[in-house]
Amino acid sequence: MWGMTKVWNGGAAAMVAALLCVSGAAAQDITLTGEMTYRDLATYREVPFKVPAGVTAVTVEFSYQGREERSVIDLGVRDSVRFRGWSGGARSRFVVAETYATPSYLPGPIPAGEWRLVLGVPAIRETSKAPYTAKIWFERRPSDFQGFATAPLKDTPGWYRGDLHLHSAHSDGSCAAQSGARVPCPLFRTTEAAAQRGLDFIAVTEHNTVSHQQGLTELQPYYDRMVLIPGREITTFQGHANVFGATAPLDFQLGGPRAPKLGTLLDQLEKAGGIISVNHPGLPSGEACMGCGWTAETDWRRVAAIEAINGGALKFGAEGPGTGIPFWEARLNQGFRLTGVGGSDNHDGPTPLDRVQSVGSPTTVVYAENLSQPALLAGIRSGRVFVDVEGTRDRLLDVTATAGGQAVHMGGVLKLKADDVARVELRTAGLAGGHVTFAGSAKGLIRTDTAPFADGETRVLELRADGARGWLRIDVRGPDGKLWILGNPIYLEPPGP
């Protein structure tokens, strides 16, 4: 439920307020109405409304009648301190938030007090009337942020391909200027490289900053086939981690008074509705890259994912020096359920696709209910994810295990007692010539089948349980043994309450 304040504006735009306090309400919904006539031609009307304390974002939707008679009402807004923007007749909706805003409006603190919609009338006929309505929402919680796209870019469930680790000029990304000189690489060079790669989503993860979020706000409407997820690489002396889907400030100074423990940051992140993924934990930490390896004391129950494959380490192979796979598996062996993901860690935008750390190399492939930020983050949490190491556009591995009326995918939990038999179905695409390998504490329970895949093959394997708690991951390797697909585990547990 939303609290509501109704404001009826006559010629003098008088304000009548009645704030309805609804238990647990996170925002108040204001409706401003009024009418423009010929007397308002070439004039401005400022329509006041109250913004309460604690608001983190203001959303305005504006509509009016009379367009068929060529009436025009332009739109802008002032906060209680300064002018915040003007979109004229170009937009009917805008958002002003602490860390981002619709283009032509300014992000920044949301001061409480009297704000004013600024309405201008460049055209209206002598006999015309133009009634208008402005609907205004207040957000109080950072977790209200659902993404820069106002609706899913695709409504259908399916596998969506993306890159979860990218940098631009807003941190330490650089690329060639027109002259060939190395310069800070504009954000659009990264987004355009991702679009050319055919990706469905990207997370731009600048080091400890949110300055790129305004750019993502501007770019998202253009990229109507690719979700732009706000991210940050939280870079500390005890490790690096990507956070996804949060726009609110986060204290990254781990070990200092602002964030004495990782739990402080995780508290802030959970309040902001984001998720965290530990980056390149297999890299060394020292003079060459302070904090690149992960040493922070961590409650792994609060971590969603681990970057098992980082593009920078691919020069040594997906399982060579610097790989995060052993670190991830050690946490799995401890009983934590963590999704394995990949990220290019690209720092130079339009890197040729055959180069290490090109955008989309590796690609993280997520099964999501639709193509939107909330659905993609939910998909990562669920664990129905695989990493396409070479960053192809079409490789697929979908694993489903069934037994006794249960059916689970990667990331799911299958409850089996000793000697129960599960049917494990592998649905594949683009993996002709590849073969299956197994990892995990339960890998000895499955019938090994190493015959090469045919193109588009669906294969069924058998797993006979021993009744113990464990996990099983299915990967696919090429004829030379190199890892093509890194799967995510299916978790095994004995039946119980």
281: left (phi over 0), alpha (psi -120 to 50) or beta: alpha
85 and 158 share one domain: no
The pLDDT, as a whole number, for residue 286 is 85
254 and 236 share one domain: yes
The pLDDT, as a whole number, for residue 22 is 26
271 and 128 share one domain: no
Q: Which of 95, 121, 140 is the last residue of a domain?
A: 140
End-to-end CA distance of the chain: 36
The pLDDT, as a whole number, for residue 2 is 29
Q: Which of 77, 105, 140 is the last residue of a domain?
A: 140
310 and 426 share one domain: no
Cα 308–310–313 angle (5° rounding)? 115
Residue 102 lies in a domain: yes
Q: What whole-number distance in Å separates Cα of residue 495 and Cα of residue 406?
A: 12
Task: Scan for tokens 């009326």, then name that residue.
Answer: 405
Residue 363 lies in a domain: yes
- Per-residue confidence of the chain (497 residues) as pLDDT tens digits? 222 333 333 333 332 232 222 223 344 589 999 999 999 999 999 999 999 999 999 999 999 999 999 999 999 999 999 999 999 999 999 999 999 999 999 999 999 999 999 999 999 999 999 999 999 999 987 666 899 998 999 999 999 999 999 999 999 999 999 999 999 999 999 999 999 999 999 999 999 999 999 999 999 999 999 999 999 999 999 999 999 999 999 999 999 999 999 999 999 999 999 999 999 999 998 888 889 999 999 999 999 999 999 998 888 889 999 999 999 999 999 999 999 999 999 999 887 766 678 999 999 999 999 999 999 999 999 999 999 999 999 999 999 999 999 999 999 999 999 999 999 999 999 999 999 999 999 999 998 777 999 999 999 999 999 999 999 999 999 999 999 999 999 999 999 86
199 and 318 share one domain: yes
Sign of the Cα torsion 330, 334, 340, 344 reads negative
Cα 202–203–205 angle (5° rounding)? 145
Residue 340 lies in a domain: no
| Cα radius of gyration (the chain) | 26
The pLDDT, as a whole number, for residue 349 is 86
Q: Can you spell out the DSSP letters for 256-274?
A: STTBSSHHHHHHHHHHTT-
Q: What whole-number distance in Å separates Cα of residue 68 and Cα of residue 330?
A: 67
117 and 158 share one domain: no
159 and 96 share one domain: no
452 and 370 share one domain: no
**Alpha helices (H) in 347-439, listed in sequence order:** 373-382
Which CATH number fits the domain that encloses residue 356? 3.20.20.140
The pLDDT, as a whole number, for residue 24 is 31
Q: What whole-number distance in Å separates Cα of residue 177 and Cα of residue 168?
A: 14
Q: What whole-number distance in Å separates Cα of residue 411 and Cα of residue 339?
A: 7
Sign of the Cα torsion 360, 365, 370, 372 reads negative
Residue 135 lies in a domain: yes
Residue 405 lies in a domain: yes
Residue 343 lies in a domain: no
35 and 118 share one domain: yes
Residue 341 lies in a domain: no
The pLDDT, as a whole number, for residue 44 is 98
- Closest-CA residue to 366 (of 398, 413, 332, 337): 398
Are 487 and 386 contacting, i.e. CB atoms less than 8 angstroms apart?
Answer: yes
Q: Which of 102, 122, 140 is the last residue of a domain?
A: 140
Q: Can you spell out the DSSP letters for 418-442?
A: TT-EEEEEEEEES-TT-EEEEESTT
Which CATH number fits the domain that encloses residue 454? 2.70.50.30
111 and 218 share one domain: no
Domain holding 248, by residue range, is: 148-332+348-391
Which CATH number fits the domain that encloses residue 37? 2.60.120.380
Number of domains in the chain: 3
266 and 246 share one domain: yes
121 and 160 share one domain: no
Residue 96 lies in a domain: yes
